[in-house]
Structure 1
Amino acid sequence: MVDRRDTQHTAGLRADLDKRPAEVAAMFDRVAKRYDVTNTVLSGGLDASWRRATRQALGARPGQTVLDVAAGTAVSTVELASDGVRAIACDFSQGMLRAGGARAVPKVAGDAMALPLADESVDGVVISFGLRNVADPDAALREFRRVTRPGGTLVVCEFSRPTWAPFRTVYLEYLMRALPRIARAVSSNPEAYVYLAESIRAWPGQPDLAGRLQEAGWSDVAWQNLTGGVVALHRGRRPA
């Protein structure tokens, strides 16, 4: 049963997509227990292929160090580390990090807007399905640039806008109606997924996000659509 206080709290988030870090972290703490299972169900099992595509887009080499921001339970971090890369999981939700405690990758608690890393200390940064939950995404993009070495790579994997209009209409209907209903069956805090659905709908499309990467100082910015644009991979390079 969902605690009424949790429902009211999440409803407050839904009302204006408030993204104060402490409140969003608390929301993810409440969904951590069944987060991975819920993601697999809601994505129809596509989440694994999206993680593989993200790793491939990053193109990190064995021995390099990459930071996985908003890593949650570190499923994505394990994928990034599969090529002999040193991948570090970073998340501001202690509950999510604890839920992924059995995954043998380095973990650090941290906010995307104030990462606990030195300047130019990693070869690449990845953030998957997390940038839209940051209070100031542009500040986060600048912070990712700060910790990345010259020539390093950023990959943003995020929900986006389907490119085919009829499919886009069906997809938005799924987000606002079917997704919360499915979440009630599998999630440890289904009300949170109403907020998450609204945050997806409010997120900018592919060209707008590409422009924001460029404004934050990333060069050679490009994107790749996955699943017809349901997800987009944006890639940028920190200039040497």
Structure 2
Amino acid sequence: MFDHVASRYDLMNALMSGGMDRLWSAAMRTAVGAVPGETILDLAAGTGASSASLARSGARVVACDLSEGMIEVGRRRHPGIEFVQGDATDLGFPDDSFDAVTISYGLRNVVDTRAALSEMARVTKPGGRLVVCEFSTPPNPAFRRLYRFYLGAVIGTLARVASSDEVAYDYLVESILAWHPQEDLGRLIARSGWERVEYKDLTGGIVALHRAYKPRS
């Protein structure tokens, strides 16, 4: 499915979010706090837009995605980024390899969320950090109803007009509505080998940033 939407993936993200994806990306980059000399793993990196954003810090970024189609497009668009095909639940990296691991809008697509979070902890250095940027649940009931209307009415229309795979965006809506609320995801992260878990709502809770750290011992 993701292979089929790779060529228009970044365009659709911008259209569906009304350009807010750039603000969310900037918030994710700030939360990661990458600095020169660090090595960052960007999971579910897609075409590498998030990886390129992180690389502007001077850190080395490894972009990892399961989709060959996404990686192919990403390598053309960002030739300076290292792309690796990989499964978030079975990462092909040694223990304690990365200063930080991040995943944007991809954790809800993993079949076994806890296994993926545990794998992320395994490959992160002690004291290293995790940042999850994911669609979430607006806490305000009125705004939540408006957001769900937008998902059902507007996303479908945009997909029919601009997407190369309308079914993929039906899945997008379903996966967002079925995903964990902020507090539940925080508890799941804490049970998967991470500590000092915190989260921040973006745009009224449409997106949430979760940050956590790997214990030093």
TM-score, normalised to structure 1's length? 0.88
Residue 33 of structure 1: how far off its partner (Å): 1.3
Query: Cα deviations across residues 82-103 of structure 1 (Å, max 9, x unaligned)?
Result: 1101111000000001111220
The aligned counterpart of 2:83 is 107
The aligned counterpart of 1:10 is none
The aligned counterpart of 1:145 is 121
Residue 177 of structure 1: how far off its partner (Å): 2.2
Residue 54 of structure 1: how far off its partner (Å): 0.4
The aligned counterpart of 1:8 is none
- Does residue 184 of structure 2 align to residue 221 of structure 1? no
Local SS of the residue matching 2:62: strand
Residue 116 of structure 1: how far off its partner (Å): 1.4
Distance in 2 separating the partners of 1:216 and 1:138: 6
Local SS of the residue matching 1:84: coil
**Given residue 107 of structure 1, which amino acid in structure 2 is its aligned partner?**
F
- Does residue 145 of structure 2 align to residue 193 of structure 1? no
Distance in 2 separating the partners of 1:108 and 1:198: 28
Coordinate RMSD, CA, aligned: 0.7
Distance in 1 separating the partners of 2:160 and 2:45: 23
Local SS of the residue matching 1:232: strand
* Structure 2 gap segments, 5+ residues each: none
Q: Percent identity, please.
A: 51
The answer to whether the Cα contact below 8 Å between 1:184 and 1:191 also exists between their aligned partners in 2 is no
**Given residue 29 of structure 1, which amino acid in structure 2 is its aligned partner?**
D
* Structure 1 gap segments, 5+ residues each: 1-26
- Does residue 73 of structure 2 align to residue 87 of structure 1? no
The aligned counterpart of 1:233 is 209
Residue 175 of structure 1: how far off its partner (Å): 1.0
Distance in 2 separating the partners of 1:143 and 1:129: 17
